[in-house]
Structure 1
Amino acid sequence: MSEQTILIPGNTLITASPEEGRQLAIKIARLTIKITQPDAEVREKLRPIYVEDAAMLISIGAAVAAEFATIARANNYWR
């Protein structure tokens, strides 16, 4: 893992709103992909493959949903 990549932006899961929480979930999911495949050229080569594959797109959505569930819980569901 790269020492330069910050996996939790701002080092907190606390957000002001569900919308900010969702944005953070997407950012964390994207950072996970970047850490898993650090080579930008390889990621660019793979993009055309997964954008045409419904199962892969559903998997991406599931990853974001899992991150969002964690963030929502950390924020006491914004109560």
Structure 2
Amino acid sequence: MQKPADIASLLTTNPDEGFALAIKLSRLAVKLTQPDAEIRASLRSAYEQDAMALVAVSHVVATHFATIAAANDYWKG
């Protein structure tokens, strides 16, 4: 498994950028786990109506965001 070339650092200038990075990390993890775009698209209908799956997605993004926030010293001056 290769490291995504476009994620050079967890450092961001503000929380909004940190949240966007958390989402990007989550999406890249799914893409690396299931590289076939057609399979990913076919699976989407299974989880897009599943409340527990959506909560799980939120948890993954929140975990990434917490890691990024810590790496950025919680954006303290």
**Normalised-by-shorter TM-score class:** over 0.9
| Identity in percent | 49
Question: What does 1:1-79 align with in structure 2 at a 5 Å threshold?
Answer: 1=1, 3=2, 6=4, 9=7, 11-79=8-76
- Give structure 1 stretches of 5+ with no counterpart: none
Which runs of at least 4 in structure 1 moved beyond 4 Å after TM superposition? Answer: none
TM-score norm. by structure 1 comes to 0.90
For these two proteins, the number of residue pairs brought into alignment is 76
Amino acid at match of 2:59: A
TM-score norm. by structure 2 comes to 0.93
